[in-house]
Structure 1
Amino acid sequence: MLCYFKKTNGSKLVWFREQTKANITFLVIRNYSLKCDLKTIHSCDNGKISSKLFHDLSDNSLKKLTSFFENFIEQNEEKDWDVYYESGVLTVNLGQYGTYVINKQAPNKQLWLSSPLGGPKRYDYNTKSKEWISLRDGSKIKDVLSTELSIITKKKIELPSSIDGE
């Protein structure tokens, strides 16, 4: 089963899911498109990772994301953009484009993303693929951020795979 987004009139995108009986469900969402294989979603096993491993992975990911955003802001030479990381919370202010907040949720063993373009998402760590993946739509945090930052800057942005914690 694949889920993906389809561009419609104007700037809206529509999410839809193909099912074997040709049922199609439409849901209007915000500004970006992604492709995901939903089989990946079911292989997330964050409940099996220890709290120590979760903290190591999430802290490492947040530090790498902080470094990425510091370089990203420096390269884009935007004076009103800023990045701040403290106590497991990464805040990235992109001026007129809004603010990203990425933080760890220890009880759920998740990374949470609040995005000015895509809204809130929760990511579980998949120990097989070694990536932070949304159980809701199969998106990977690095792909979502890459896509949204590409929309904001109007140029191709790719986050490195290394941000996934290992």
Structure 2
Amino acid sequence: MDDSAFESLADSLLETLEETIGAHTDAERQGGVLTVEGDDGTWLVNKHAPTKQIWLSSPQSGARHYAFDAASGRWQDTRGGEDLLTLLSSELGLSLAWRPQ
């Protein structure tokens, strides 16, 4: 994936997450970082352009890195765990969905 494709996918994801999560709790995006304030603490979701990954810092599951898998259309945990939206949905108690554009 080239830099432009990564930026487009990552921005689309962060925008969707900000809108969806923000309808239920405090979520704010500044540049490539989304900050979510929840009852259990603060989640940070940010794009990491050098590795073409989305990084998550969670008060529940810790730090994780996600790479886009074109075959499934999901951001997959680089260590084999749940995909990003499944994990965030579970931790935040929300139903999150996103489709690559």
Could you tell me which residue of structure 2 aligns to residue 11 of structure 1? none
Could you tell me which residue of structure 1 aligns to residue 60 of structure 2? 117
Could you tell me which residue of structure 2 aligns to residue 99 of structure 1? 42
For residue 158 of structure 1, the aligned residue among 92, 95, 100 is 95
The share of aligned pairs that are identical, in percent, is 35
Which structure is higher in RCO with an 8 Å CA cutoff and minimum separation 6? 1
Measure how far apart 1:83 and its partner are. Answer: 1.6
How many residues are matched? 101
- TM-superposition CA deviations, 1:85-137 (whole Å, max 9, x none): 0110000111x410000000000000001001000100000011111001202
Q: Can you give the 5+ residue segments of structure 1 that lack an aligned partner in the other structure?
A: 1-48, 74-81, 151-156
Matching of residue 63 in structure 1 with residue 15 in structure 2? yes
For residue 88 of structure 1, the aligned residue among 32, 57, 63 is 32
Measure how far apart 1:58 and its partner are. Answer: 0.1
Asked if 2 retains the 8 angstrom alpha-carbon contact of 1:84 and 1:91, the reply is yes
Q: Counterparts in 2 of 1:23-102, with a 5 A limit? A: 49-73=1-25, 82-94=26-38, 96-102=39-45
Q: CA separation in 1, counterparts of 2:44 and 2:82?
A: 17
- Partner SS for 1:72: coil
Q: Which structure: larger Rg?
A: 1
Matching of residue 141 in structure 1 with residue 84 in structure 2? yes
- 1:71 alignment partner AA: A
Q: Can you give the 5+ residue segments of structure 2 that lack an aligned partner in the other structure?
A: none
Q: What is the TM-score with the length of structure 1 in the denominator?
A: 0.58
Asked if 2 retains the 8 angstrom alpha-carbon contact of 1:66 and 1:84, the reply is yes
Q: CA separation in 1, counterparts of 2:40 and 2:81?
A: 25
